[in-house]
């Protein structure tokens, strides 16, 4: 397709390091939520971040598109260093798609309108073209027939797939997933994970906060365990699961795998 | 034991057909019994209501419709006489003074301009508020851009194209009420939205400016605002540069209403989940587009009943402009009832009931419209 080549040519000009986090510290008041985070994500790399709740996983993810600010350290996304400058923040957000735990679809807009909103108002794409693009992505997440419905009429799994399509409509180079399956009923988890597996096969850079260990094993290039605001262990999935190096990782895996 | 054991395994062979819902006792008698005479307390209430209708509602209709005097040239028509020992409401008075109630002192030869203004305004309102009207974008352009210019030319005048100037001191009656209410509503909503957004701003200066304005205006009666606008402003600004008296009152009413509107809109903004804001920002939308495309459409839907409530309050508050010497509708009735030519026992009450009827019809119309819009929004399948 047309937009695929656009993306490919744009990707060619992008730096090899998609996301670089260096010496990142964040406090919520007195609470030290992120402590000296250092992370380099290569272009096309798929990273799954797991760990006990309250460990700072979501906060780290939300720093990468500056939904949260931080007090010390730096983050560079696709060669753009995030500062207070609103232009840089917008440039990064245009380039980074995000999928939330609670879907956060816009309830007053139909599925199609949800998808074309940002392409029209951020990318200044003509409406017809945006609709064609949106239908293409809705077909890829296998719900093109729901395009005219309002989000409240869809199941949780369908809503989350719409949210993925909505993010993809901006042709992002990096996708952030913040516990995308935690709010779903068990029987809907698979359809969302399948969508994400297909996306991973396309070679897009992905950072996923998730406890879906099967997904991590199948898709991730690296698995990261975060606990108490720190990165405890980074490893390739096979080693991470079969031969974890850190005591904290062993404990965590034991807890979630019973 | 064995009986329980027999029931431990059970498999339904076929799906049950859905049954029709149970029938209720219908018919007028059933309705009466269910709604009016279901319990002793209910029976007592029913009787009380019947008595109320007999004692209050029937005499009301007797006075204002059956015994009413519908035509006549002066007070004699409405006075008690052998022919009508018990005259009712004096509608003849309203008929004779009606044009004054509508136009005030607007010159006779120019009143077609007011009529035309009412027509263009009604056209604009229908276009804007009729939800399935064609090309509502043009309708909005007409209402917010064309109509103000057209209205100014029509009502105030444009000597260049041969429409003579009618100073606002001659305006009055329903004309003034409609102008003040329309301007108040049209300006208070956007101003209120801006103030509500400012109040939630992360910038302290913006936030505190909005808070100060809202709390100050809400803490002061509208009469005070109007007095300040009409009496104090000229003390600071030379009379020559000071805007027209009506314009000053308009500004006062619009600012007053916008402070109330700001609080109403703030409630709606607080009802939109934070995730909506984050999702819009994460897509790269700017602050204003996030607000305009995602947050406000949801917030205003939630607040619609309260917005209309504020509009209704504003419409009735316009009667207060009389304190600065502007002849709104109610004030023209006040002036007319003092006319010795119509000094009869029932003219005053007839005038007031006429005023009440006018305000009620306008406010009830707004309320009905809002309910229809709400119902339509609910039908749109949002929730």
Task: Mark A158-195 as b/e (b = at least 16 C-beta within 10 Å).
Answer: bbbbbbbbbbbbbbbbbbbbbbbbeebeeebbebbbeb
Query: Is residue A88 in some structural domain?
Result: yes
Q: CB–CB of B76/B117 below 8 Å?
A: no
- CA B96, CA B78: separation in Å to the nearest integer? 13
Q: Residue B294 and residue A106: Cβ atoms within 8 Å?
A: yes
Show the 3-state SS of chain B.
Answer: CHHHHHHCCCCCCCCCCCCCCCCCCCCHHHHHHHHCCCCHHHHHHHHHHHHHHHHHHHHHHHHHHHCCECCCCCHHHHCCCCCCCCCCCEHHHHHHHHHHHHHECCCHHHHHHHHHHHHHHHHHHHHHHCCCCCCHHHHHHHHHHHHHHHHHHHHHCEHHHCECCCCHHHECHHHHHHHHHHHHHHHHHHHHHHHHHHHCCCCHHHHHHHHHHHHHHHCCCHHHHHHHHHHHHHHHCCCCCCCCHHHHHHHHHHHHHHHHHHHHHHHHHHHCCHHHHHHHHHCCCCHHHHHHHHHHHHHHHHHHHHHHHHHHHHHHHHHHHHHHCCCEHHHHHHHHHCCHHHCCCCHHHHHHHHHHHHHHHHHHHHHHHHHHHHHHHHHCCCC
**Per-residue pLDDT, B325:** 84
Nearest Cα residue in chain A from B383: A152
* Number of domains present in the structure of chain A: 1
**Per-residue pLDDT, B90:** 85
Least confident of A45-59, A173-187, B219-233, B254-268: B219-233
Contacts with A105 from chain B: Cβ below 8 Å? 279
Asked whether residue A9 carries a pLDDT value surpassing 60, the answer given is: no
The predicted model scores a pTM of 0.82
CB atoms within 10 A of CB A198: 12
**Proportion of chain B above pLDDT 90, given as a percent:** 34
In a mutational test of the B interface, the residue from A89, A121, A151, A182 whose CB has the highest number of chain B CBs within 10 Å is A121
| Interface residue A98 vs chain B (CB under 8 A) | yes
Q: CB–CB of A132/A164 below 8 Å?
A: no
Taking residues B24-49, report their average pLDDT: 82
The residues, any chain, with a CB within 8 Å of residue A101's CB and separated by 6 or more, are A178, A179, A180, A182, A183
Q: How far is CA B300 from CA A107, B98, B184, B213, B294, in A?
A: 13, 39, 18, 22, 11
Task: Mark B143-181 as b/e (b = at least 16 C-beta within 10 Å).
Answer: beeebeebbeebbbbeeeeeeeebebeebbbbbbbbbbb
Asked whether residue A75 carries a pLDDT value surpassing 90, the answer given is: yes
In a mutational test of the B interface, the residue from A59, A64, A108, A174 whose CB has the highest number of chain B CBs within 10 Å is A108
Query: Is residue A186 in some structural domain?
Result: yes
Chain centroid offset of residue A223 CA: 14
**Per-residue pLDDT, B295:** 94
Model confidence at B381, in pLDDT bands (50, 70, 90)? low
Asked whether residue A11 carries a pLDDT value surpassing 60, the answer given is: no
Query: Is residue A122 in some structural domain?
Result: no
Nearest Cα residue in chain A from B277: A104
- CA B284, CA B180: separation in Å to the nearest integer? 41
Model confidence at B24, in pLDDT bands (50, 70, 90)? low
Q: Residue A107 and residue B298: Cβ atoms within 8 Å?
A: yes
Model confidence at A216, in pLDDT bands (50, 70, 90)? very high
Nearest-CA distance from B271 to chain A in Å?
13
| Interface residue A150 vs chain B (CB under 8 A) | yes
**What burial class does residue B85 get, using C-beta atoms within 10 Å of its C-beta: 0-12 exposed, 13-18 middle, 19+ buried?**
exposed
- Report pLDDT digits (tens) over B48-95: 999 999 999 888 888 888 888 888 888 888 887 777 777 888 888 888
Residues from B contacting A (CB-CB < 8 Å) are 273, 275-276, 278-286, 289, 293-294, 297-298, 301, 380-383
| Phi, psi torsion values for B75, nearest 5 degrees | -60, -25
Q: Residue B285 and residue A118: Cβ atoms within 8 Å?
A: yes
Q: CB–CB of A61/A19 below 8 Å?
A: no
Q: CB–CB of B355/B329 below 8 Å?
A: yes
Average pLDDT, chain B: 86
| Interface residue A239 vs chain B (CB under 8 A) | no
- CA A48, CA A56: separation in Å to the nearest integer? 14
Query: Is residue A127 in some structural domain?
Result: no
Q: Residue A65 and residue B381: Cβ atoms within 8 Å?
A: no
- Report pLDDT digits (tens) over B263-315: 999 999 999 999 999 999 999 999 999 999 999 999 988 888 899 999 999 99
Nearest Cα residue in chain B from A94: B284
Query: Is residue A73 in some structural domain?
Result: yes
Query: Is residue A219 in some structural domain?
Result: yes
- For A74, the domain range is 2-106+174-257
- Report pLDDT digits (tens) over B107-158: 888 888 889 999 999 998 888 888 777 888 888 888 888 888 888 888 888 8
Taking residues B212-232, report their average pLDDT: 88
Contacts with A167 from chain B: Cβ below 8 Å? 282-283
Q: CB–CB of A118/A133 below 8 Å?
A: no
In a mutational test of the B interface, the residue from A84, A91, A118 whose CB has the highest number of chain B CBs within 10 Å is A118
**Per-residue pLDDT, B251:** 87
Contacts with B273 from chain A: Cβ below 8 Å? 102, 104
Q: What is the DSSP string of chain A?
A: -HHHHHHHHHHHHS-SEEEEEEEEEEEETTEEEEEEEEEEEETT-EEEEE-STTSSHHHHHHHHTTSS--SEEEEEETTEEP-S-HHHHHHHHHHEEEE-TT----TTS-HHHHHHHHHHHTS---HHHHHHHHHHHHHHTT-GGGTTS-GGGS-HHHHHHHHHHHHHTT--SEEEEESTTTTS-HHHHHHHHHHHHHHHHTT-EEEEE---HHHHHHH-SEEEEEETTEEEEEE-HHHHHHS--SHHHHHHHHHHH-
Contacts with A207 from chain B: Cβ below 8 Å? none
Asked whether residue B96 carries a pLDDT value surpassing 90, the answer given is: no
Taking residues B238-264, report their average pLDDT: 85
| Interface residue A11 vs chain B (CB under 8 A) | no
Asked whether residue B4 carries a pLDDT value surpassing 70, the answer given is: no
Q: Which residues pair with A48 in a beta bridge?
A: A208, A223
Q: Residue A118 and residue B283: Cβ atoms within 8 Å?
A: yes
Q: CB–CB of A55/A229 below 8 Å?
A: yes
**Per-residue pLDDT, A157:** 93
Q: Residue A118 and residue B284: Cβ atoms within 8 Å?
A: yes
Nearest-CA distance from B17 to chain A in Å?
26
| Interface residue A130 vs chain B (CB under 8 A) | no
**Proportion of chain B above pLDDT 70, given as a percent:** 95
- Report pLDDT digits (tens) over A118-166: 999 999 999 999 999 999 999 999 999 999 999 999 999 999 999 999 9
**Per-residue pLDDT, B23:** 61
Taking residues A76-100, report their average pLDDT: 93
Nearest-CA distance from A93 to chain B in Å?
5
Asked whether residue A2 carries a pLDDT value surpassing 50, the answer given is: no
**Per-residue pLDDT, B45:** 92
Q: CB–CB of A226/A60 below 8 Å?
A: yes
Q: Residue A150 and residue B382: Cβ atoms within 8 Å?
A: yes
**Proportion of chain A above pLDDT 70, given as a percent:** 95
Q: Residue B301 and residue A108: Cβ atoms within 8 Å?
A: yes
| Interface residue A65 vs chain B (CB under 8 A) | yes
Nearest-CA distance from B303 to chain A in Å?
14
Asked whether residue B7 carries a pLDDT value surpassing 70, the answer given is: no
**Per-residue pLDDT, B1:** 47
In a mutational test of the A interface, the residue from B271, B273, B281, B282 whose CB has the highest number of chain A CBs within 10 Å is B282
Q: Which residues pair with A99 in a beta bridge?
A: A177
Q: CB–CB of B166/B157 below 8 Å?
A: yes
| Phi, psi torsion values for B299, nearest 5 degrees | -65, -40
Model confidence at B242, in pLDDT bands (50, 70, 90)? low
**What burial class does residue B280 get, using C-beta atoms within 10 Å of its C-beta: 0-12 exposed, 13-18 middle, 19+ buried?**
buried
Complex ipTM value: 0.90
**Per-residue pLDDT, A1:** 40
Model confidence at B29, in pLDDT bands (50, 70, 90)? confident
Q: CB–CB of A49/A57 below 8 Å?
A: yes
- CA dihedral sign of residues B318, B322, B328, B332: positive
**Per-residue pLDDT, A4:** 45
Nearest-CA distance from B19 to chain A in Å?
27
Partner-chain residue, chosen from B283, B298, B381, that has the shortest CB–CB distance to A152: B381
Q: Residue B276 and residue A104: Cβ atoms within 8 Å?
A: yes
Q: Residue B298 and residue A94: Cβ atoms within 8 Å?
A: no
Q: CB–CB of A192/A161 below 8 Å?
A: yes
- CA A12, CA A25: separation in Å to the nearest integer? 32
Task: Name the residue among A36, A32, A100, A38 with its Cα closest to residue A65.
Answer: A100
Contacts with B294 from chain A: Cβ below 8 Å? 106, 117
- CA dihedral sign of residues B111, B112, B118, B121: negative
Bigger pLDDT: B37 vs B119: B119
Q: What is the CATH number of the domain that holds A17?
A: 3.40.50.300
Pairing of strands A80-81, A72-77: antiparallel
Judged by phi (left if over 0) then psi (alpha if -120 to 50, else beta), residue A124 lies in: left
Query: Is residue A201 in some structural domain?
Result: yes
Partner-chain residue, chosen from A108, A153, A167, that has the shortest CB–CB distance to B297: A108
Contacts with B279 from chain A: Cβ below 8 Å? 98, 100, 104-106, 163
């Amino acid at each position: 397709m047309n937009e695929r080549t656009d993306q490919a040519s744009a990707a060619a000009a992008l730096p090899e390091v998609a996301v670089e986090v260096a010496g990142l510290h964040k406090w919520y008041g007195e609470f030290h939520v992120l402590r000296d985070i250092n992370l380099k994500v290569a272009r096309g790399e798929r990273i799954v971040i797991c760990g006990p709740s309250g460990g700072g996983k979501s906060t780290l993810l939300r720093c990468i598109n500056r939904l949260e600010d931080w007090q010390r350290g730096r983050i560079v996304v696709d060669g753009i260093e995030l500062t207070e400058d609103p232009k840089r923040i917008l440039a990064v957000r245009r380039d980074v798609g995000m999928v939330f735990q609670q879907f956060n679809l816009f309830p007053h807009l139909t599925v199609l309108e949800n998808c074309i909103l940002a392409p029209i108002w951020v990318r200044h794409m003509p409406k017809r073209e945006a609709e064609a693009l949106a239908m293409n992505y809705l077909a890829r997440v296998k719900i093109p027939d729901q395009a005219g419905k309002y989000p409240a009429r869809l199941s949780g799994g369908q809503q989350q797939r719409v949210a993925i399509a909505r993010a993809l409509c901006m042709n992002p180079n990096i996708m952030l997933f913040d516990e995308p399956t935690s709010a779903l009923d068990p029987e809907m988890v698979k359809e969302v994970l399948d969508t994400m597996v297909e996306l991973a096969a396309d070679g897009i850079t992905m950072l996923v906060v998730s406890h879906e260990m099967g997904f991590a094993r199948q898709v991730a290039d690296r698995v990261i365990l975060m606990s108490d605001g720190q990165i405890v262990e980074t490893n390739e999935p096979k080693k991470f699961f079969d031969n974890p190096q850190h005591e904290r990782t062993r404990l965590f895996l034991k807890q979630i795998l019973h | 034991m064995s009986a329980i054991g027999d029931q431990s395994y059970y498999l339904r062979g076929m799906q049950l057909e859905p049954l029709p819902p149970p029938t209720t006792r219908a018919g007028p008698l059933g309705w009466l019994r269910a709604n009016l005479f279901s319990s002793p307390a209910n029976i007592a209430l029913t009787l009380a209501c019947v008595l109320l209708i007999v004692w209050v509602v029937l005499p009301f209709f007797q006075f204002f419709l059956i015994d009413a005097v519908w035509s006549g040239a002066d007070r004699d028509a409405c006075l008690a006489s052998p022919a009508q020992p018990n005259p009712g409401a004096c509608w003849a008075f309203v008929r004779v003074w009606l044009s004054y109630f509508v136009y005030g002192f607007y010159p006779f030869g120019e009143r077609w301009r007011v009529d035309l203004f009412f027509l263009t305004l009604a056209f604009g309102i229908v276009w804007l508020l009729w939800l399935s009207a064609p090309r509502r974008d043009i309708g909005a352009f007409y209402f917010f851009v064309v109509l103000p210019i057209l209205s100014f030319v029509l009502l105030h005048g444009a000597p260049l194209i041969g429409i003579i100037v009618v100073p606002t001191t001659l305006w009055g009656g329903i004309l003034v009420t409609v102008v003040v209410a329309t301007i108040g509503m049209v300006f208070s909503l956007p101003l209120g939205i801006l103030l509500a957004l400012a109040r939630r701003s992360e910038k302290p200066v913006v936030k505190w400016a909005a808070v100060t304005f809202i709390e100050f205006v809400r803490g002061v009666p509208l009469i005070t605002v109007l007095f300040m606008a009409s009496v104090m402003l000229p003390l600071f600004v030379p009379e020559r540069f000071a805007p027209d008296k009506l314009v000053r009152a308009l500004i006062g009413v619009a600012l007053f209403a916008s402070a109330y509107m700001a609080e109403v809109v703030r409630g709606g903004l607080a009802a939109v989940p934070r995730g909506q804001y984050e999702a819009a920002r994460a897509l790269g939308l700017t602050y204003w587009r996030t607000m305009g495309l995602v947050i406000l459409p949801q917030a205003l839907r939630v607040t619609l009943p309260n917005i209309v409530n504020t509009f209704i309050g504003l419409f009735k508050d316009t009667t207060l402009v009389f304190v600065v010497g502007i002849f709104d509708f109610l004030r023209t009735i006040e002036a007319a009832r003092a006319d010795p030519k119509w000094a009869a026992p029932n003219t005053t009450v007839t005038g007031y009931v006429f005023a009440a009827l006018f305000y009620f019809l306008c406010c009830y119309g707004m309320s009905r419209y809002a309910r229809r819009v709400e119902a339509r929004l609910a039908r749109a399948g949002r929730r």
